[in-house]
Amino acid sequence: MRNARLAGMSAIQTVVLIVIVVIVIVIIIRAGSSKKGTPEPVTAIDKPPPSSVEPAPEAVEPMPVQEEETPVAKQTKPTPVQPTPEPIEVTSMSEPDPEAEEEPETPQKRTSRQMRTIRFAMLAFQRERGRLPSEEEFGQSIFTDLLDPEVEINSEGFPVDSWGNPLKFNPSMGVAFGFLSTGPDGKSGTRETDSDNVR
């Protein structure tokens, strides 16, 4: 019996040893495969320190100079000379008619023009003396010396209109309303006689 037990125990121990050996082998195989798969660390290569001496610049070869080609003058064709057009005379439709300009001045227009120059003389007299000339002074040299030479004066020294009638002047009515020509008939005071008066 005792021998049988010893034999059984030795068998068990043998199996246990075999299992332990197999486990160790497996561990060793796995460790070897993991070492093969892991990349070995790469050691950084020490770079040499930068040199303080700058490298000499490379010699630059001069570029070849290209000779400029002298442009050849292009032959130009002579421009044909165009004949100068003759000036065209343009006649204006609004040209003044010389006959119309030479129309004789009517007595009414001539009297109005002369009366304007006499009014200017009245205003000049007023500036010098501070008043208008009186009815008597209207025919005296104190006033008539201020008149334009074209103003006609009768034998009594009074200015007259184009019909030879003396011009009427009332200083109290002023230059605008107190000075008039009685017109061709030489009369005033009524509607019929005043119709041809010139102011």
Using the structure block, give the residue that is written with the tokens 């059984």: 8
Tell me: pLDDT of 158 over 80: yes
Q: Which pair of tokens denotes residue 152?
A: 């006609």
Higher-pLDDT residue of 93, 175: 175
Rounded mean pLDDT, 111-120: 90
**What pLDDT does residue 16 have?**
86
Task: Single out the residue of 129, 117, 106 nearest to residue 167, CA to CA.
Answer: 117
pLDDT digits (tens, 9 = 90+) for 41-87: 545 445 555 555 555 556 556 665 666 555 555 556 667 667 676 66
Those residues with Cβ within 8 angstroms of residue 140's Cβ, 6 or more apart along the chain or in another chain: 157
Q: CA-CA distance, 151 to 122, in Å (whole number)?
A: 14
Beta strands 168-169 and 179-180: pairing type? antiparallel
Say if residue 18's pLDDT is above 60: yes
pLDDT average, residue stretch 150-163 = 90
Phi and psi angles of residue 192, each rounded to the nearest 5 degrees, phi first? -70, -40
Residue 63, pLDDT score: 67
Cα 150 from chain centroid (whole Å): 54
